[in-house]
Structure 1
Amino acid sequence: MKDSTRDAIDGVLGIDRLVHEPARLAILTVLSQAEHAEFSFLEMACRLSKGNLSSHLSKLEAGGLVLIEKRFVGKRPQTRAAITPAGQAALARYREQLKALIGEVRDNRNGGEQR
């Protein structure tokens, strides 16, 4: 196995699993484009049920990637989420890891060892 292939495998194994999960990746992507987003908007934009969205937001909050704000607007409860600087950095790092991995796969296909 070539060193570059080992590096690619190490890259895959090193991907942040908190960010990599598709629903959490969708949430972070949406939040990266806004100052904050209401729960109902995230539910619709990410196509998640209330329970799934709540669970994923809790994990992202525990990891320090999002902030959750619960408040009342009039007499109605409102939950908003915002990506943290750590969340922005984790998302950027994840994107760079994927770019590197894709580049490595392309390089291996174009000039890699043949069997």
Structure 2
Amino acid sequence: MEQPDPTIHQPVRLKIMAALKPLPAGEALEFVRLKAVVGATEGNLGAHITTLEQAGYVGVEKDFVGKRPRTRVSMTPQGRRAFDAYVGYLQDIIGAAG
């Protein structure tokens, strides 16, 4: 990878991906929890999740708990590969600087 993945490189999207990566495959974080971890507003977080979803990096599930809507976000296999490549890109930069 000669350039960082522009979809992941944006700081809020990088935080989203970093928050989702430690989860086991198929596990999801609720939107409210992700919002707290990332420190973004609802609208801002929603827009960045949409960008990641359109890239195929995250999946979004919407359902209800009782009468309350719930949104959960998980990293897709494609997202895991992209994030691993992004981390590898950063490690190459660090290695070259040392």
Q: Extract structure 1 runs of 4+ deviating beyond 3 A.
A: none
Q: Is residue 2:86 matched to residue 1:94?
A: yes
Which residue is equivalent to 2:20? 31
- Structure 1 counterpart SS, 2:4: coil
Deviation at 1:104, TM superposition (A): 1.3
Identity of aligned residues (%): 39
Q: Out of 35, 38, 45, which is 1:46 matched to?
A: 38
Q: Distance in 2 between matches of 1:92 and 1:68?
A: 20
> What runs of 5+ residues in structure 1 fail to find an aligned partner?
1-9, 107-115
Deviation at 1:31, TM superposition (A): 0.8
The aligned runs of 1:69-88 (5 Å cut-off) are 69-88=61-80
Q: Distance in 2 between matches of 1:47 and 1:33?
A: 18
> What runs of 5+ residues in structure 2 fail to find an aligned partner?
none
**Cα deviations by residue, 1:35-75 (Å, 9 ceiling, x for unpaired):** 11000000000000001100000000000000000101111
Greater CA drift, 97-106 or 61-70: 97-106
Considering fraction of residues, name the structure with more helix.
Answer: 1
Q: Which has the larger radius of gyration?
A: 1
Q: Is residue 2:4 matched to residue 1:19?
A: no
Number of positions where the alignment pairs a residue of Structure 1 with one of Structure 2: 95
TM-score in terms of structure 2 length: 0.93
- Structure 2 counterpart SS, 1:81: strand
Q: What RMSD in Å do the two structures reach over aligned CA positions?
A: 1.1
Q: Which amino acid aligns with 2:35?
A: E
Q: Which amino acid aligns with 1:61?
A: E
Deviation at 1:102, TM superposition (A): 1.4
